[in-house]
């Protein structure tokens, strides 16, 4: 190890002082984007859909397009059980949601699951915070 002299110490101190304070703080994980209460369109009482991307051509064989949307459920809001119109991937980005999908389970922030076309599912926000379910829709090709 090299000896550190006064000149090296001063140079190191000046270099440290030149670093912005934001670089010295601990990194924080990115938070999900929050949604306004009137954003998107209402699809059920207390439930809003926000389209995040238009349908784009899919590179996955058997699917014509892929698109993404957020479904925002206020506390107590519910989406009645219905048959899925297309295959999709669901992911909870905020809150916790009770999912009826053949069996009932609680999907917490970070949980993901998939649904096939015709699969029946219902969703309810039993919590006290807003729940957000991000959905990636795979529209099937016309064959």
Q: What is the pLDDT of residues 94-130, one digit of tens each?
A: 999 999 988 899 999 999 999 999 999 999 999 999 9
SS3 label, residue 98 = strand
Check if the beta carbon of residue 37 is closer than 8 Å to that of residue 50: no
Q: Which domains does the chain have, with CATH numbers?
A: 41-140 (2.60.120.10)
Q: What is the pLDDT of residue 34?
A: 58
| CB-based burial label for 36 (10 Å; 0-12, 13-18, 19+) | exposed
Q: State the residue for tokens 């030149």.
A: 18
Look at the block and give the residue holding tokens 């969703």.
123
| pTM across the whole model | 0.74
Whether residue 19 has pLDDT greater than 60 = no
Q: Indicate whether 15 pLDDT > 50.
A: yes
pLDDT score recorded for residue 16:
52
Q: What is the mean pLDDT of the chain?
A: 84
23-49, pLDDT tens digit by residue?
444 544 444 455 566 789 999 999 999
Q: State the pLDDT at residue 24.
A: 46
d(C-alpha 39, C-alpha 69), whole Å: 12
- 33 or 78: which carries more pLDDT confidence? 78
- How much is the pLDDT for 97? 98
Instruction: Please tell me the predicted confidence (pLDDT) of residue 27.
Output: 47
Position 101 scores a pLDDT of 86
């Amino acid at each position: 190890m090299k000896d550190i002299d006064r000149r090296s110490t001063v140079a190191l101190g000046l270099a440290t002082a030149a670093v912005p304070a934001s670089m010295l703080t601990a990194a924080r994980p990115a938070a999900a984007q929050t949604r306004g209460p009137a954003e998107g369109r209402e699809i059920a009482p207390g439930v809003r859909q926000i389209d995040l991307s238009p349908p784009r051509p899919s590179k996955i064989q058997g699917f014509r397009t892929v698109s993404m949307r957020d479904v925002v459920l206020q506390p107590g809001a519910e989406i009645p059980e219905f048959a899925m119109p297309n295959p999709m991937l669901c992911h909870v980005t905020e809150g916790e949601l009770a999912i009826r999908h053949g069996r009932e389970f609680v999907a917490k922030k970070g949980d993901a699951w998939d649904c096939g076309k015709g699969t029946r599912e219902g969703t309810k926000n039993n919590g006290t915070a807003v729940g957000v379910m991000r959905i990636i829709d795979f529209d099937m090709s016309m064959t």
